[in-house]
Amino acid sequence: MITDPFSDLLKLTNAEAVVTGGFTAGGPWAIRFPGRDKIKFFAVVKGSCWVTLKGEAEPKHFETGDVGLLARRRSFVLASDLSIEPVDAMDLFSGSGRTMATLGDGGDFAHIGGHVLLDPIRGGLLADILPLWIHTRASSPHAAIFRWLLDRLIEERDIGQPGAQLASAQLTQLLFIEILRSHLNTSNLIPAGWLRALADPRIAPALRLMHGDPARAWHLEDLAKACAMSRTSFAFNFRTAAGVAPIGYLTEWRMRLAERALREDKTPVAIVARSLGYTSESAFSNAFKRVSGSSPTAYRGSLHASDGSDGEPLSNQVSNAVSES
């Protein structure tokens, strides 16, 4: 199978999308949702609504099939009419296990929402490179895929066939990936960084090489040749997309893999160093401290000291998730 750097990033951050609820509405209505320290997403399954984000002057209009993703802690309002005073979502969805609500007769509008759980330590690799807001319209090239996924999610929720819970989880994860893919299609508008680099087809061969064999001593000539460019052209295009030089990108990726190894197992630092292409533990330690801010030993020690708090497993996060629609 071809190495997929985008999948590597999602796996490294343990990105896991979860549908938490939804609501239907009829007549005039408005709901205010609080800001959360999670990536939130929602989709309009039926009807249309206005969306206003705190701090943003211009409201956005959502039609049937539109999907939105909010990557920062901002409260927002969904409304049929901007002049209506919104009710608080926490009051609307209060009650043990309540994930669905109805306003009015519920006949005009339908919505499903959820959030993305991330590794508490490495999740910033994804969360920090996403824009504040992604609005993917039903008229986009991804419209047919979104429509199919939303229809299937509703069907799994309403019919309740065997395996519905697992099927819904897989569909939700695919919906999240498709939202990100739709954003990657606008790569010329994305600031330089991880996300833009992953979306740039010109440097994709080099990224696949580095992700496929991060321990190899890659040289600029090797990477440029894989992309059918001269060294100068490749270096320029890579830095333009990634914001760093190719070898700088490789070093940072190696350190992210090192962080995972130091966190998830008890492999000696020297062996972690060799697995990532470093011939000496001191060279690895210097690179790790330069990128991560502490030595490998200190980093591993700080993780053990915080066990039971910041290191809460995702499975517990899922089970403890409060319905936020």
- 167 lies in the same domain as 205: no
Residue 282 lies in a domain: yes
How far lies 69's CA from each of 27, 66, 132, 177, in Å? 26, 10, 8, 11
- Going from the first residue of the chain to its last (325 residues), give the mean pLDDT of each consecutive group of 10, the final group possibly shorter: 84 90 94 91 94 91 94 93 93 75 93 90 84 88 86 85 89 91 76 86 94 95 97 96 94 94 88 95 95 92 61 38 38
CB atoms within 10 A of CB 106: 17
pTM comes to 0.80
Residue 262 lies in a domain: yes
- 14 lies in the same domain as 65: yes
Burial class (CB in 10 A: 0-12, 13-18, 19+), 316: exposed
Q: Identify the pLDDT of residue 164.
A: 87
Q: Identify the pLDDT of residue 78.
A: 96
- 220 lies in the same domain as 128: no
Residue 316 lies in a domain: no
Whole-number Å distance between alpha carbons of 317 and 233? 45
- 181 lies in the same domain as 249: no
- 286 lies in the same domain as 199: yes
For the chain, the domain total comes to 2
Q: Identify the pLDDT of residue 316.
A: 39
Q: Residue count of the chain, please give it.
A: 325
How far lies 240's CA from each of 189, 196, 228, 251, 265, in Å? 12, 9, 17, 18, 36
Whole-number Å distance between alpha carbons of 264 and 272? 12
Backbone angles phi, psi at 73, to 5 degrees: -75, 90
- 176 lies in the same domain as 236: no
Q: Identify the pLDDT of residue 96.
A: 54
- 92 lies in the same domain as 210: no
Domain that residue 174 falls in: 5-185
Q: Identify the pLDDT of residue 307.
A: 53
Which is nearest to 255 in space by CA: 276, 269, 271?
276
- 160 lies in the same domain as 203: no
